[in-house]
Amino acid sequence: MDFEKLYNVYYMQVYSYVMTLIWNAHLAEEITQEVFFKALKNNDSYQGKSSELTWLCAIAKNACMDYLRKKSKVSNIDLEEKLVDSHSIELAIEDENMTLMIHQILHHMEEPYKEVFQLRIFGELSFDKIGKIFGKTENWARVTYHRARLKIQEKMERKE
């Protein structure tokens, strides 16, 4: 297995996945690096039954759960539920004040981030459809959406 190629091909996808779980850019970078280290260290555990990305995301999910376990030190918390709901902008949209803040941020956001975010959240379009609208790939739409989320998150943190 060529780990340099694996890293170059999947880094952004794994990082984006971790960001959706943790919502902290610095921590997401650390966990993503840990994922690739674990993949390198345990490459014999990859049997090829799933895609490399699926394997890496499984490692990432476990790394995020380990982090949350260490952080909370509470054994009765449903970590799976905490991962899914962790600081999600989509959930914040339900709150009126947060919605207004997000719309204000979106109003000043540059393209294509603004439109991709709006199509995904408000238009409820799949990444595949968003990519087709822009004449790009599904992966481009995913990356652009996640970058838009990061930009919104940063601006929201500055306003609070």
Write out pLDDT tens, residues 6-20.
888 888 888 888 887
Domain count, the chain: 2
Domain of 51, in residue numbers: 3-85
Residue 61 has pLDDT above 80, yes or no: yes
Largest distance between two CA atoms of the chain? 49
Q: Which of 25, 56, 85 is the last residue of a domain?
A: 85
> Which whole number is the average pLDDT over 55-66?
87
Q: Which of 85, 120, 135 is the last residue of a domain?
A: 85
Binned at pLDDT 50, 70 and 90, residue 85 comes out as very low
Do 66 and 9 share a structural domain? yes
Q: Which of 85, 102, 131 is the last residue of a domain?
A: 85
pLDDT tens digit sequence for 91-139: 444 455 666 777 788 888 899 998 888 888 767 788 899 999 899 999 9
The CATH number of whichever domain residue 117 belongs to comes to: 1.10.10.10
Do 62 and 94 share a structural domain? no
Do 102 and 153 share a structural domain? yes
Annotate the chain with DSSP letters as a single string.
--HHHHHHHHHHHHHHHHHHHH--HHHHHHHHHHHHHHHHHTGGG--SSS-HHHHHHHHHHHHHHHHHHHHH--TTS-HHHHHHHTT-HHHHTTSHHHHHHHHHHHHHPPTTHHHHHHHHHTS---HHHHHHHHTS-HHHHHHHHHHHHHHHHHHHHHH-
pLDDT tens digit sequence for 115-127: 888 888 767 788 8
The rounded mean pLDDT for the chain is 78
pLDDT tens digit sequence for 46-55: 777 778 888 8
pTM comes to 0.47
Do 143 and 78 share a structural domain? no
Residue 30 has pLDDT above 60, yes or no: yes
Do 143 and 98 share a structural domain? yes
More confident of the two residues 58 and 137: 137
